[in-house]
Chains A and B, each alone.
Chain A
């Protein structure tokens, strides 16, 4: 070990000065690095989000910025996919309580109520059991093209058409619930869109009526 003598004797001035300088220098360095990495971080997280949305929606079309809507007391973040100025599908971020904690899905729903695909954004399910919702091919494949107008969105045990993961009924139920919430939101969004369109239609009718009166 060294012949270096240990530190300076403390007095109030050098203690305060030293702590202050350290904090200032460290803060400045971090601010600099933060400024440098801010752009790559934003880019990376945008890329991840884009990828998760892209996985659950058809490829063609124009993706909207994130929007928010609430249904039954819960607020959802969603994205719309437009083809020729017409909304053809929604991607809804849907969170429910799973077995081990929050289970967050990205659910793609087309405007005619068919689930296009789903993907897991975050989960804390039991490894090897509930966590299979993210890896089990059979479980994941059944969501592709799940037509909610023909099939019932609940697990087979509860009289629905969803094949549960073996030994993980609670996770499967939660997953199904998350999809159902997303489908319900998509339906209400579509309903709202159509109501808007209908309003426009009414306005047009009125205008036309006005013209006739003249």
Chain B
């Protein structure tokens, strides 16, 4: 039950883009085509889950254990940057085909605030998920991160689909490009608001 609540809440109710406003830059930047949007979503999914796992352990066993919580921001961003670099190198060696698909998005992810945002959120905020309010355990944190990144993918792919159609429409000159995209996301966000209250 709790697992289901985490998944539904992270994907739909508190969608990372449409309700939490994280990772908007790449969201607007690479959602022009469905194929790039899918690639970016997969890369984000991979990095968010991995980064949350690593930063959670780092926070618990190093920062909190030695009373260094004030170094959280700096440590997390360094870990994420290093992790992205490492993933890039490993992918290149191990699976060139996957690297081909995700490679160009990886450097962009370091400055995607969704990664740092989720990493900070899981170690500082209390969550409920149908239970009394509590800090997340390692398993829950990783599951939450994974579900959140799935939510990113859902929002991204939906929006890319809409944008491909939008490209064929004749919009007024002042609306062309980002403004009409923002209005579309606004309507999409309104649709997602219908999920609030479920979990």
Contact = CB atoms under 8 A, between A and B. Distances in A.
Category for how many chain B residues contact A = 10 to 19
Interface stretch (B38-46, B128-136, B174-182): B128-136
Contacts, number: 32
A27 B128 contact: no
B133 A104 contact: yes
Interface residues of A, number: 18
A65 B78 CA distance: 39
Contact of A30 (B70, B127, B128, B130): B70
Contacts of A188: none
Interface in A13-35: 23, 26-27, 30-31, 34
B132 A73 contact: yes
Interface string A91-123: 000010101111010000000000000000000
A74 B131 CA distance: 9
B190 to A, nearest CB: 13
B128 A102 contact: yes
Contact of B130 (A95, A97, A170): A97
B197 A34 contact: no
A97 B196 contact: no
Nearest to A27: B71
A74 B133 CA distance: 9
A30 B74 contact: yes
Given A26-B74, A74-B132, A100-B196, 10 more contacts: A27-B71, A27-B74, A73-B132, A95-B126, A95-B128, A95-B132, A97-B128, A101-B14, A102-B128, A104-B133
A102 B133 contact: yes
B126 A126 contact: no
Nearest to A41: B70
Contacts of A34: 70
Interface of B: 14, 70-71, 74, 78, 126-128, 130, 132-133, 196-197
A126 B132 contact: no
A135 interface: no
A27 to B, nearest CB: 7
Nearest to B14: A101
A27 B132 CA distance: 37
Interface string A69-82: 00001110000000
Interface in A44-91: 73-75
A30 B71 contact: yes
Nearest to A72: B132
Which of the listed residues A31, A99, A102, A170 has the most CB atoms from chain B within 10 Å of its own CB?
Answer: A102
28 contacts: A26-B74, A27-B71, A27-B74, A30-B70, A30-B71, A30-B74, A31-B70, A34-B70, A73-B132, A74-B132, A75-B132, A95-B126, A95-B128, A95-B132, A95-B133, A97-B128, A97-B130, A97-B133, A99-B196, A99-B197, A100-B197, A101-B14, A101-B128, A102-B127, A102-B128, A102-B133, A104-B133, A126-B196
